[in-house]
């Protein structure tokens, strides 16, 4: 019977294959970063790279090299770490020279990448990590950008991660309303605004007042909402 030590040794050897030339048959490029990986291990998490490199695959591939655009090298590194170990952490990769992703965006960017790569289990992991990060390390100045980028890079069907952001915003609404960056970032996100107002209304929030988009008349009547922005009777 295999001992726990032998199992751990085996997993450690798998981890050592990441970004190693040993048995590697695929190169992933993102920005200036290059990762050497084993296609068979990645295929356990996502069909993306198998489909990309087969005959008639994606245009971004050549000679078993896949180029990933519009995603950070750090999020790709965390995705690969997950593929080889079953998890990823907040630590900055020793293989990357570029600055790490901001606090909350570490997880929301992994989520967006997992969505592109068709890795649904990683989406769940990333959402859970974001939820835990928001609960354990609340930094209001980091939050607005996370909301904006997450909503820009997810679909309406991605309710889990969006609900996490709405819940966090509702919990800290009085503090967030004092941030100019919060108003700026969510101005063009009526979906988030509406979800937030519905959350506040359902919990009988008394910590804030909703003001008309065109004047300063307060209200909390969701029936007066239009496109996520409340307008008083004079400005409907």
Q: Are 74 and 106 in contact (CB under 8 A)?
A: yes
Q: What is the pTM of this model?
A: 0.81
Q: What is the pLDDT of residues 64-97, one digit of tens each?
A: 899 999 999 999 999 999 999 999 999 988 889 8
Domain-embedded: residue 217? yes
Q: Is the pLDDT of residue 59 over 60?
A: no
Domain assignment present for residue 47? The answer is no
In a domain, 52, yes or no: no
Task: Report the number of distinct structural domains present in the chain.
Answer: 1
Average pLDDT in the 106-115 region? 98
| Contact indicator for 180, 141 with CB cutoff of 8 Å | no
Q: What percent of the chain has pLDDT over 90?
A: 59
Q: Please give the full DSSP string across 17-77, using - where no structure is assigned.
A: TTT-STT--EEEEETTEEEEE-HHHHTTT-SHHHHHHSTT--TTBSSSEEE--SS-HHHHH
Task: Kindly state whether residue 236 falls inside one of the protein's structural domains.
Answer: yes
**Residue 113 near residue 71, CB atoms below 8 Å:** yes
Q: Which domain holds residue 227?
A: 139-236
**Res 131 pLDDT > 80:** yes
Nearest CA among 109, 101, 25 for reference residue 66:
25
**pLDDT for 84:** 92
């Amino acid at each position: 019977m295999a001992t726990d030590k032998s199992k751990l040794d085996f997993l450690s050897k798998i981890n050592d294959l990441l970004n190693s030339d040993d048995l590697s048959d695929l190169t992933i490029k993102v920005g200036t970063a290059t990762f050497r990986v084993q296609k068979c291990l990645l295929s356990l998490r996502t069909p993306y790279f198998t489909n990309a490199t087969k005959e008639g695959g994606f245009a971004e591939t050549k000679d078993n090299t896949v180029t990933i655009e519009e995603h950070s090298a750090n999020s790709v590194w965390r995705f690969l770490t997950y593929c080889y170990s079953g998890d990823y952490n907040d630590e900055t990769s020793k293989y990357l020279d570029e600055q790490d992703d901001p606090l909350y965006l570490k997880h929301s960017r992994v989520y967006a990448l997992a969505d592109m790569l068709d890795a649904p289990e990683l989406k769940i992991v990333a959402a859970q990590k974001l939820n835990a990060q928001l609960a354990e390390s609340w930094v209001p100045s980091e939050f607005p950008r996370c909301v904006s980028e997450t909503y820009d890079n997810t679909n309406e069907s991605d309710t889990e991660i969006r609900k996490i952001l709405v819940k966090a915003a509702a919990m800290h609404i009085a503090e967030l309303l004092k941030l100019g960056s919060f108003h700026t970032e969510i101005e063009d996100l009526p979906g988030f605004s509406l979800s937030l107002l519905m959350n506040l209304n359902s919990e009988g929030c008394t910590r804030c007042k909703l003001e008309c988009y065109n004047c300063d008349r307060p209200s909390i009547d969701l029936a007066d909402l239009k496109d996520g922005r409340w307008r008083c009777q004079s400005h409907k």
